Chains A and B, each alone.
Chain A
Amino acid sequence: GAVVSQHPSWVICKSGTSVKIECRSLDFQATTMFWYRQFPKQSLMLMATSNEGSKATYEQGVEKDKFLINHASLTLSTLTVTSAHPEDSSFYICSAGVTGGVEQYFGPGTRLTVT
């Protein structure tokens, strides 16, 4: 089946610094990837839709200047949390779908802790 990886799986950073999270589709091409955030004991909330070669589409309430998304190729999307604060601590999950398909394949997630 289709595999999606994320790196790093776990990161701790100091308040005010920036963190980059990578999402890769390992064995398929994905023109669209999605970034979700999951707070402890809560559901996944869509943050943004990442489109290869164009600007990302952000959900209402998500700051585009804080959560920078770059979809540079058909297999890689990055999420950069800029000037991170403790309230940004969360589990960030990406998903990708085969072009033209419906099913989404999820990455293992990245746990971000901002101190």
Chain B
Amino acid sequence: AQSVSQHNHHVILSEAASLELGCNYSYGGTVNLFWYVQYPGQHLQLLLKYFSGDPLVKGIKGFEAEFIKSKFSFNLRKPSVQWSDTAEYFCASHTGRRALTFGSGTRLQVQP
């Protein structure tokens, strides 16, 4: 069965610091990958997605992610975080089955 791993459970950064959140997936076939963000008290919002093509994907709010097939990774990056980026971040994968498989999430806390 496919699985998604997020190794950073809680990340604390100062404003303007660079961010990289790790995500690894287990499925060896064709896979679609997503990053979602959940701000406190709000619902999931899609940050970015990878289906095919350019492995460097740009999303909303200055986020980007790079799909590295050889490493089964899809890490999320942002050059300079803001206090408003404080949230829970979820990596998810989708294969032939339509439901998403979510990672355990990473809580990002940005200190002003």
Contact = CB atoms under 8 A, between A and B. Distances in A.
Interface residues of A, number: 20
A43 interface: yes
Given A43-B90, A93-B44, A104 B102 contact: no
B27 interface: no
A108 interface: yes
Interface in B67-112: 90, 94, 98-105, 107
A106 B43 CA distance: 7
Nearest to A6: B43
Contacts, number: 44
Contacts of A109: 43
B18 interface: no
Interface residues of B, number: 19
Interface string A83-115: 000000000010101000011101111000000
A97 to B, nearest CB: 6
Contact of B98 (A43, A45, A97): A97
A67 interface: no
Interface of B: 32, 36, 42-44, 46, 49, 51, 90, 94, 98-105, 107
